[in-house]
């Protein structure tokens, strides 16, 4: 497409300042954090002496950081599974012409309007060992109780206290995946479903052979968004549980906050932030690659 040089210059005048601001305040700070992570800055006063990978070695030999990585892994896995499976189930109920659809759709989507801080405070009260669900069970005559986010029990590297955070985060984002799947289901032509029914396919066969394959792009997009949210989780854990006893609900974001802004270990905090960036990149880059590849084809 032909574009006059004068219009090109005007476009560059608009884009270049914004690009410069973006480079300085995003990529510039990332590069600065990378440089600090290789330095000996361990106090209020800067010390930019190069010490190589020492901060990273120290992190991976820290029991707290290793626990944080396992917590992030399990939280991400279960958070994604609950949101995707639950979101599809809810969307299918609405897709099947459930009565009062608008009401249920609003109810499912309402938690998404809350911040993670509000969600954390709410579920901290609900799952409090003394006054929350446990108290309700005691009123109903059940003697057993669960420590929820105060529990230090685990199965392998999975801390049971994470269940509280998984419930809270999933409650907030179930509506999001429901909306995505519902939009996808509504986009599938009715003729395809009707043809399958005429061929004798049952409901389960239609879901397995038609709906789920056609919803693969939406499922993939939901996994990317949810994975991105879970890898940088901070506010929910901070408001609801903190790092927990024995770091059972600790995450790299909390560790970085305490290391950098409370302990003044700036180099070690920068190293944690770089590792978090790499973890998020592992999720985002395949998504960008598939998106660009789809646009080219």
pLDDT band at 2 (very low <50, low <70, confident <90, very high): low
Query: What is the arithmetic mean of pLDDT over 106-121?
Result: 91
pLDDT band at 3 (very low <50, low <70, confident <90, very high): low
Q: What pLDDT does 85 receive?
A: 96
Name the β-bridge partners of 50: 39
Rounded Cα distance between 73 and 171, Å, is 19
With DSSP H G I counted as helix, E B as strand and the rest as coil, what are the percentages for the chain, rounded to 5? 75, 0, 25
Selection from 175, 188, 121, 177 nearest residue 149 by Cα: 121
Q: What pLDDT does 135 receive?
A: 81
Q: Are 177 and 226 in contact (CB under 8 A)?
A: yes
Q: What pLDDT does 133 receive?
A: 83
pLDDT band at 283 (very low <50, low <70, confident <90, very high): confident
Rounded Cα distance between 233 and 278, Å, is 15
pLDDT band at 1 (very low <50, low <70, confident <90, very high): low
Asked if pLDDT for residue 237 goes beyond 60, the answer is yes
pLDDT band at 181 (very low <50, low <70, confident <90, very high): very high
Q: What pLDDT does 129 receive?
A: 78
What average pLDDT does the structure give for the chain?
89
Rounded Cα distance between 74 and 71, Å, is 5
Rounded Cα distance between 171 and 162, Å, is 14
135 phi, psi to nearest 5 deg: -65, -35
pLDDT band at 220 (very low <50, low <70, confident <90, very high): confident
pLDDT band at 289 (very low <50, low <70, confident <90, very high): confident
Asked if pLDDT for residue 46 goes beyond 80, the answer is yes
Rounded Cα distance between 33 and 272, Å, is 10
Residues of 166-204 as b/e, b for ≥16 C-beta within 10 angstroms? bbbbbbbbbbbbbbbbbebbeeeeeeeeeebeeeebeee
Rounded Cα distance between 27 and 21, Å, is 10
Rounded Cα distance between 75 and 250, Å, is 11
Q: What pLDDT does 297 receive?
A: 62
Asked if pLDDT for residue 162 goes beyond 70, the answer is yes
Burial of residue 273 (CB within 10 Å: 0-12, 13-18, 19+) is: buried
Residues 6+ apart with CB under 8 A from 185: 91, 92, 95, 211, 215
Q: Are 51 and 38 in contact (CB under 8 A)?
A: yes
Eight-state DSSP code of residue 259: I
HEC readout, 266-279:
HHHHHHHHHHHHHH
Q: Could you read off the pLDDT of 19-39 as tens digits, one per residue?
A: 888 888 889 999 999 999 999
Query: What is the arithmetic mean of pLDDT over 105-120?
Result: 90
- Output the pTM of the full model: 0.88
Eight-state DSSP code of residue 113: G
Q: What pLDDT does 89 receive?
A: 94
Q: Could you read off the pLDDT of 94-109 as tens digits, one per residue?
A: 988 777 888 888 888 8
Q: What pLDDT does 13 receive?
A: 85
Residues 6+ apart with CB under 8 A from 43: 264, 266
Asked if pLDDT for residue 64 goes beyond 60, the answer is yes
């Amino acid at each position: 497409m032909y574009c006059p040089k004068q219009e090109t210059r005007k476009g560059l005048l608009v884009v270049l300042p914004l690009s410069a601001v973006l480079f300085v305040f995003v990529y510039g700070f990332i590069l600065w954090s990378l440089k600090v992570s290789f330095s000996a800055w361990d106090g209020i006063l800067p010390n930019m002496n190069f010490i190589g990978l020492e901060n990273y070695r120290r992190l991976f030999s820290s029991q707290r950081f290793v626990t944080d990585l396992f917590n992030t892994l399990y939280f991400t896995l279960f958070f994604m599974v609950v949101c995707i499976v639950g979101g599809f189930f809810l969307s299918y109920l609405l897709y099947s012409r459930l009565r009062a659809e608008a009401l249920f759709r609003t109810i499912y989507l309402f938690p998404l309007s809350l911040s993670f801080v509000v969600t954390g405070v709410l579920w901290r009260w609900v799952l409090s060992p003394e006054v929350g669900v446990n108290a309700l069970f005691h009123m109903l005559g059940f003697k057993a109780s669960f420590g929820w986010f105060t529990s230090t029990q685990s199965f392998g590297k999975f801390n049971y206290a994470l269940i509280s955070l998984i419930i809270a985060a999933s409650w907030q984002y179930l509506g999001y995946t429901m909306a995505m799947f519902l939009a996808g289901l509504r986009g599938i032509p009715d003729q395809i479903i009707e043809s399958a029914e005429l061929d004798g396919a049952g409901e389960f066969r239609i879901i397995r052979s038609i709906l789920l394959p056609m919803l693969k792009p939406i499922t993939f997009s939901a996994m990317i968004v949810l994975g991105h949210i879970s890898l940088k989780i901070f506010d929910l854990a901070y408001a609801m549980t903190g790092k927990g006893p024995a770091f059972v609900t600790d995450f790299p974001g909390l560790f970085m906050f305490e290391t950098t802004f409370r302990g003044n270990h700036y180099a070690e905090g920068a190293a944690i932030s770089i590792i978090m960036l790499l973890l998020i990149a592992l999720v985002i880059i395949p998504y960008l690659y598939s998106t660009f590849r789809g646009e080219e084809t």
